[in-house]
Each structure stands twice: as C-alpha cells, then as structure tokens.
Amino acid sequence: MARKARDRPIETLVLALPETAGAALYGLVDVLTSAGLIWARMMRSESSLLPFNVRIVSTGARTFRCGNGVPVTPAVAIRDDPPADIIIIPQLWLGPDEHLHGRYADVTAWIRKRFEKGAFVYSVCSAALLLAETGLLDGRPATSHWGYQQLFERRYPQIHFRLGPSLCFAVPSGRLVTAGGSTAWHDLALHVISRHVNAAEALRIAKIYLIRLHEEGQLPYGSLVKPLPHADAVVRACEKWLARHYRESRPVAGVVRQARVAERTLKRRFKAATGSSLIDYVQGLRVEEAKRLLEFSRRSVEDISADVGYEDASYFRRLFNRSTGLTPQRYRRMFQPVGMPDALD
C-alpha cells in the first residue's frame, strides 16, 4: 500500500483503552502525523501532502484517562465502525500473568472484522495479548515483550511465540505484525512509514526523532531467569540452592544430591514447575551474572567466563551469543554505563 502523491491519506487508527501506555499512544500519533512534514520544515522546504490521517479510536468518544492517568480524547468510536487502512494497538499496562479474555469482546470483533476487510493490523509490546484474543494469531508466529513469554506459552499455546525479533510478521503479506518491547513502537513506526510511504521518508523520520530499528531484537534486554509461581516445595528449594551454587562444577549433579530425589524425577518436576530444564536454568543464572559483570566491571571476558563457571572462554562466548544475540564485547558496549569507574565489582 505504498502511497502516490495523488492518493488520499491513509486512514490510520491508533487504539486507546484504559490500560494503554500514553507514551506509546502519543508517540505513534506524533511520529506518524509528522511523516511528510517535519523533515521539510527542518530543511525549510515545501512539504507534500501528509501521507497518514492519524486518529485515536476507542470504545467510546468521551475523554478518559489511560495508563498513569494520561488523558485521552478519542476522535472516533469503535461502535461507529470508522474506516481504517491501518489499525495500531499500542502497549498496554498489564501484569505478567494478566490476560484480557472476555474484557474487550467488541474491540476484538472490530479488529477481526477490519482485518478481514483488508486493514493492516499492528500491535506493540503487550498489546499482542489483545490481538491474541481476536484469534488472528492462531497458528501464526508472534512476539511481545519478553516478560509475557510464559503467559503466551501457558494461555495461547496455539500461537508460535517468538522472543528474538523486534518485529514479527504473522502473515506473508505483512498485514499482521507484532512488535516486541516497550519502545518497539519506534521500530513499528519506522516500519509503517517505510511500508506505506517509502524507505527514504522512514530514514528521514529516524534522523529527526533520533530513533532507530532495534536490529538486535529483544534477547539482550530480557532476563534469562524468570520466576514462575508454583507449589512444588522441592523445586523451590532447588532454585534457592542453585542461586547460591551455580558457579560450582557440575551444579546439576549437586542439586540432585541436595534434593534427595531421583535425578530423572527431579528433572521432570523442575521442568514442569519452572518451564526450564535444570541445565538451562543453570546457564541462565550464569549468563545473567556475566551480564552484570560486563555492565559494572572492566574485567576481561576470560575472567568473567571463569568466574561464572566456564573455564572454556570460547564455549562461554558461544553460549552468551546464543542467549543474548550479542557477543560479550558488544553487550558491554551497549549496556555499560557512561563514565563508569574503573572497578565496581
């Protein structure tokens, strides 16, 4: 749907609900409304016709407050079934175990109807949970913030959750796209402009707003050890033991001895309770500590590798890269604080 100069503006509706994050909502409205205009103003040249007609849509037309008390005045209401070439669902403030089943049946029905009529549908971060309720993602790949991975795997096993990418394309046509983390609306805004206007305008907007595509995806930002509530006291004791002893040689054998449970039984129970195998859990603990040392010390990668339990630094580098999507050196460049003292560890 790349736009020609003579075409009408692209009808773009950004959905606002009481749970919506105001930064993502108004960031998307601002950036998309600026397309075709702000670069020309900065360069003191004439602007062309604005490509997007961006409006906020909600369940009703009355002013309300979304997440953190940010005021919202919708331009149109879903009940009026406004036309839409594009529907964007910004981030929602939801807990890691909070789903939306049954809460917005009218909204999900409207999204599904508009998609079936040809609209492009995009979601940001946790808004993929609302999109999941439409059924449009069933049997398809999707992403969301890394903090919701376990919720997707438990509640929406029919959706193929992808943790890595910043943008995940559910259908080959590109009409159904989910964006990952909280600031993935940056990536989505640039994608929408590139797809529906042109890549050059997306680049100009990126330069004006100093935003960029997160090509590294979400892996560097997520925690590899995610606490999952469960009632298995033996596994809880194992988690506590591993948190203290993960650096040791053969920690899996050590925790099996401490648990006094048959190894095969313990591995099965640990996986069922935590969603992770014992060895993956240990590796997650080790990589998380390595990330901390890379962020807050200037120690060599070899020293850090040995400190977290890996004598073979080359193996550690491969594991770190597989776990975070980055080499240890690149991770340090991205996350080490500017002006950090020589030793904080």
| 3-state SS assignment for residue 279 | helix
Q: Does 211 or 285 have the greater pLDDT score?
A: 285
Structure-token pair, residue 1 = 């749907």
Q: How does pLDDT run across 27-53, given as a tens digit for each residue?
A: 999 999 999 888 777 777 776 668 999
Which residues are paired to 52 by β-bridges? 10
Which residues fall within 8 angstroms of residue 178, CB to CB, at 6 or more apart? 122, 123, 128, 131, 137, 142, 143, 144, 167, 168, 170
Rounded distance between C-alpha atoms, residue 72 and residue 181, angstroms: 23
- Which DSSP state fits 63? -
Read off φ and ψ for residue 15, nearest 5 degrees: -80, 135
Q: What homologous superfamily is domain 10-209 in, according to CATH?
A: Class I glutamine amidotransferase (GATase) domain (3.40.50.880)
pLDDT higher than 70, residue 121: yes
Mean pLDDT of 174-182: 90
Question: Class of the 233-335 domain?
Answer: mainly alpha
Mean pLDDT of 250-274: 95
Q: Where are the domains of the chain?
A: 10-209, 233-335
pLDDT band for position 340 (cuts 50, 70, 90): low
At 258, which helix (H) or strand (E)? helix 251-259
The answer to whether 10-209 and 233-335 have equal CATH topology is no
pLDDT higher than 70, residue 239: yes
Mean pLDDT of 313-334: 92
Rounded distance between C-alpha atoms, residue 215 and residue 192, angstroms: 16
Rounded distance between C-alpha atoms, residue 214 and residue 279, angstroms: 30
Mean pLDDT of the chain: 90
Q: How does pLDDT run across 154-176, given as a tens digit for each residue?
A: 999 999 999 877 899 999 899 99
The verdict on pTM exceeding 0.85 is: no
User: Using an 8 Å Cβ cutoff, are 146 and 180 in contact?
Assistant: yes
Q: Which of 184, 281, 176, 164 is nearest to 228 (CA)?
A: 281
How distant, in Å, are the alpha carbons of 242, 256, 278 from that of 236? Answer: 10, 13, 12
pLDDT band for position 2 (cuts 50, 70, 90): very low
